[in-house]
Structure 1
Amino acid sequence: MRRAPLRYALRHRTYLWLVDLDHLPVLPRFFRPLARFSAADHFLGRAPSIRAALDGFLDEHGIDLHGGRVLMLAHARMFGHVFNPLTVYWCHGPDGALRCVVAEVHNTYGQRHAYLLHTDAAGTAAVAKDFYVSPFYPVHGCYEMRLPLPGERLRLSVQLQRPGSPPFTAAVQGTRRAATAPALLRLALRHPWSTLKVSAAIRFHGIRLLLRGLPVQPRPGRRTPESTS
């Protein structure tokens, strides 16, 4: 939901995976093109695993999970393509307590940025915006992210707040389903090329906003995947 200077709202249906980083699903050979998780799609893209990449990021911030469980919410690579506007990692210590949350953001320019969050009891944290995402917003303002650990229902939201401007809000809602082979096949038939549709939809709606006269903000110099905050 965009409230200013043009009011604009959209909804998009898709499906996401909630996985344990130490026990990523191993699918039957026939289904593997429908879901694959690769370290190249996250953080620096050079670690041997997504877990190793996350641990390296946390180590830079003085956090050691000592092998604690990490749950990741993300799109899987489907037919060789993946695009994750937001990947969320819930990071636990060995005692099972939540230590922190990492929100990894990808833009349509092939860049990545990770935010380290220490959420409150409601799963909420605020962090300064430090990454160019939409061409219609400059790189300043503050995100209020509400990222509670999913239960049977998933309810996440990210709100961009800037002085003197109504907030921009993005929300993700869903229902947990077991990742059985029949369920995956149904979802793949119902949402074919789901991650490609996500990136295409972002560009489509961007063009619509541009044609309606929404001004474009200049993009800062290239940010490397190493950028974190």
Structure 2
Amino acid sequence: MTIAPALYLTRLRHIRRAPVHHEFEYRGYSWYFDLDAPPRPPLPLRPFGYFRAVDHLEGPGTDLRARVDRVLAEHGIDRADGPVTALMGARALGYAFDPLTVFWCHDRGGRLRCAIAEVHNTYGGRHAYVLFPDAHGRAETEKRFYVSPFNAVDGRYRLRIPEPGDELALHITLRTDDLPPFYASMTGHRLPVTTATVLRAHLRAPLSPWLTAARIRRHGIALWAKGVPVVPRPSAPAPRRISL
């Protein structure tokens, strides 16, 4: 049984306490749907909100569910034989940027088996964390991906990512040995997908992926201006040479 697509009108909050205090809160929106029944926004609004598998999870293919199965297989997990639901942003005018996408993978009986939290950075990189949340949606994992030029690739994430219902409440805390925790949250309430709600969401955060990327860069400039040291981006691994 598939789940009807929904919209969440959200509030995103970030709090950094060191080496300077910096926090912000923005309004936005996210889509929630079963991968087997993706939303189809009203035709006039479709250029401002549509989905492509290539925007999420590494690998070949144009089927998002197949990409989820490939990530699970890489972690030694059998493919999800039940619903896979996702919370994500959409493309707008040919551009996609979604800092956090979450997939909830269920068994045939509808029980949650695991979750995939995919993180994107503004450099075009992405990384998928496979998680096993408890009954309250809590999970932990080591940080393995360069997200911000102001945070090193170390520390441990504590996440609370319960699958959304009438309300959405995701919380992420990054803990390191020498700094106070960095905190981020996304909260919101659920709406059905109609022409009116889609238009309302677009007016709330026009051209959402473009706006999100611009906001991140703006706050990066603000942190740099405050003297926060920049952590160099790790070099990409050199290509392997094959001798013939």
Task: Give TM-score scaled by structure 1 length.
Answer: 0.94
- Summarize the Cα distance change of 1:45–1:184 in structure 2 as closer, same or farther, 3 Å threshold: farther
Whether 1:3 and 2:17 are equivalent positions in the alignment is yes
Q: 1:90 to 1:206 in 2, by over 3 A?
A: same
Q: Give the SS at the match of 1:13.
A: strand
Q: Which structure 1 segments of 5+ residues have no match?
A: 225-229
Q: What does residue 227 of structure 1 align with?
A: none
Higher-RCO chain (CA-CA 8 Å, sequence separation at least 6)? 2
Deviations 1:147-174 (A, max 9, x none): 0111111010111000132100010000
**1:90-129 mapped onto 2 (5 Å cutoff):** 90-129=104-143
* Root mean square deviation of aligned Cα: 1.4
Which has more strand, going by share of residues?
2
Contact 2:141–2:156, Cα closer than 8 Å, also in 1: yes
Aligned in 2, Cα 1:122/1:150: closer, same or farther, shift over 3 Å?
Answer: same
SS of corresponding position for 1:71: strand
Measured in 2, the distance between the counterparts of 1:213 and 1:79 equals 35
**Shift >4 Å, 4+ stretches:** none
Deviations, residues 34-63 of structure 1 (Å, cap 9, x unaligned): 221101101125322111111111111122
Pairing 1:86–2:100 present: yes
Which residue is 2:43 aligned to?
29
Output the TM-score relative to the length of structure 2: 0.88
Seen in structure 2, the aligned counterparts of structure 1 residues 177 and 88 have a Cα distance that, compared at 3 Å, is same
Q: Contact 1:102–1:116 at 8 Å: present in 2 too? A: yes
2:49 is equivalent to residue 49 of structure 1: no
Matched with 1:62 is 76
How many residue pairs end up in the alignment? 224
Corresponding residue to 1:152 among 147, 161, 166: 166
Q: Structure 2 regions of 5+ residues with no counterpart?
A: 1-14, 239-244
Q: Which residue of 2 aligns with 1:164?
A: 178
Secondary structure of 1:126's partner?
strand
Identity of aligned residues (%): 47
